[in-house]
Amino acid sequence: MKRAHFYLVCMFVLSLFIVPSPALALFGLDAGVGYWMQTPSGTLTYKPVAGTVGDVDLKDDLGFDTENKPFVRVKAELPLILPNVYLMFTPMSFEQTGRLARSISFGGTSFNASATVDSKVKLDHTDLALFYPFHS
């Protein structure tokens, strides 16, 4: 039942974009695609054990480097009774094999110097905003 309601709402919103008459076209659409140079940096710490180094450096220890990723954004200006919609999606993931230059303890697990560490981080961003325009 919920799926049927979802499809009806989607069809209604899409019909607002397909209306052929300029007098009935009460919407605006803005879209864009771009590239973002993502450079992870900094350190991670997870429950260091007393007397050990618990910080993991994203560049030096894990080997993360700059990556270029696309992003997509869409803004739909709808009729006054419906809120406008702004949607943006940016994928962000890093996968790398690094070699430790020093011994560390991370999350209760110890890693010796020169150990090979495989790591993967995924931090996709999805932004959705519903808003009404403010006109003075």
The domain segmentation of the chain, as residue ranges, is 26-131
Work out the average pLDDT over 117-123.
88
pTM above 0.85, yes or no: no
Q: Which of 15, 33, 101 is nearest to 62 (CA)?
A: 101
| Strand ranges inside the chain, DSSP E | 28-38, 43-45, 55-57, 67-77, 84-90, 93-99, 104-106, 109-111, 116-122, 125-131
Confidence class of residue 24 from pLDDT cuts 50, 70 and 90? Answer: very low
pLDDT per residue as tens digits for the range 34-92? 988 888 888 887 766 565 566 788 888 888 888 888 889 999 888 778 888 999 998 88
